[in-house]
Structure 1
Amino acid sequence: LYHYPLYMRFFSTAEKLEIDGVPFISTAPKPGRQDALEYYQGIARQKNLNIHLYEKVLHVSKNNDLFEIETTKGNYKAKNVV
C-alpha cells in the first residue's frame, strides 16, 4: 500500500478485502488507501502481530516447528512468516 496512489480507490469491494472474518467497514462501496491502512493496522493491533518494517530479509530456514529469520537488523524465531 505504500506506493498506492493516495486518493485512488481499490477495484475490489470492502467485503473481498476482509481478513480472518474481521469486517472491513468503509463509507464508500470501494475503499481507498487510507481506509485499507487503518483496517490493516487495526488487524495488526487486534491480532497482536509482531511486524518488523524496513528490514531486508537475508535468510529464512525452518527448524522443526519454528522459522529462523535473519535480517539486516537482527535474528528472529517465529511460527509463521509473511
Structure 2
Amino acid sequence: DTKAEARYLNRFLSRNRIEAPRKGIFVNRELVHRIAKYAAVMGQGEASIGAYVEEIILEHLERNAATIKSLFNASPLTRL
C-alpha cells in the first residue's frame, strides 16, 4: 500500500527532528546493523539511526500508554 509506505517514511524516516540532548544506550550489534541498513536505504541517506530508533520508541510508548501507565502505577517501586 503506497499510502501506508508514505505514512511510515514520514513518521519514522523524515529529516525533521527535534534537537535535544542525547544519551547512548546499548543494543544488540546485529539489531543496530539491521536498523542502520533500513534507515540508510529507506531514508535515502537522510535519516539517522538514532532518529529512526527514537521514532520507533515514541510510537511504542504512544500505542501502549494506558498499559504502561497501569503497570507503572501498580509497581511498588513508584513509591520511591
* Same-fold status (TM-score > 0.5): no
As a proportion of its length, which structure holds more helix? 2
- Which has the higher relative contact order, 1 or 2, with Cα contacts under 8 A spaced 6 or more apart? 2
How does the TM-score come out when normalised to structure 1? 0.31
As a proportion of its length, which structure holds more strand? 1
How does the TM-score come out when normalised to structure 2? 0.32
